[in-house]
C-alpha cells in the first residue's frame, strides 16, 4: 500500500512571497493616503477665501444697488451686514455674517481693527489661515501659512 501525501496549507516560500508582495504594495499605497489631512485643510482654507471674496463682492453690489451711504448696513438673506467704504467690515457682524463663517465649529477668528484672520479650528495660528483685510477698498483676501 502506498501512502498518498496531501499538501495541507501553503509552503514557506509561498507565504514569504505573499508577504513581500504586500510589503511592496503598501510601500507605494501608503504615501498616497498619508497626507490627506493636509489636502483637506488646504481645500477648506481655499474654499473659505473664495467665500469671503464672493460675500464681499455681493455685499458691495447690494450696497451700490441700494444707493446707500458708504457705512450703511445692507441686508443679505435677512441679515444686517455692517459696512465700511461700501464693503463688509472685518468682524463677525460684517464679513463673518456675510460669508456665513462658522466660528463655533469650523474656524477660529482673530479680529484686529480692520483685519480678521480665520484659522481652521484646532490648528495652531499661522499654520493655515486666511486673512480679510478691509483697510483699503476693495478689501484683500489672502491665504497664508502652509497647510
The model's pLDDT over 96-113, given as tens digits with 9 standing for 90+, comes to: 999 999 998 899 999 999
Residue pointed to by grid coordinates 489631512: 37
Q: What is the pLDDT, as a whole number, of residue 124?
A: 74
The model's pLDDT over 7-32, given as tens digits with 9 standing for 90+, comes to: 677 888 999 999 999 999 888 877 77
Whether the per-residue pLDDT at 4 is higher than 70: the answer is no
Question: pTM of the prediction?
Answer: 0.76
Q: β-strands 83-84, 79-81: how paired?
A: unpaired
Answer yes or no: are the C-beta atoms of 91 and 111 closer than 8 Å: yes
Amino acid at each position: 500500500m502506498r501512502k498518498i501525501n496531501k499538501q495541507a496549507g501553503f509552503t514557506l516560500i509561498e507565504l514569504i512571497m505573499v508577504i513581500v508582495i504586500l510589503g511592496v504594495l503598501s510601500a507605494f499605497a501608503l504615501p498616497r493616503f498619508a497626507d490627506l489631512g493636509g489636502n483637506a485643510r488646504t481645500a477648506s482654507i481655499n474654499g473659505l477665501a473664495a467665500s469671503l471674496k464672493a460675500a464681499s463682492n455681493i455685499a458691495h453690489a447690494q450696497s451700490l444697488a441700494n444707493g446707500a451711504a458708504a457705512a450703511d448696513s445692507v441686508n443679505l438673506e435677512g441679515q444686517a451686514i455692517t459696512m465700511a467704504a461700501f464693503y463688509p467690515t472685518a468682524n463677525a457682524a460684517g464679513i463673518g455674517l456675510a460669508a456665513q463663517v462658522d466660528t463655533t465649529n469650523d474656524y477660529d477668528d482673530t479680529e484686529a481693527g480692520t483685519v480678521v484672520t480665520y484659522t481652521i479650528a484646532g490648528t495652531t495660528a499661522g499654520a493655515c489661515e486666511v486673512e480679510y483685510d478691509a483697510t483699503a477698498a476693495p478689501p484683500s483676501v489672502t491665504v497664508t501659512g502652509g497647510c
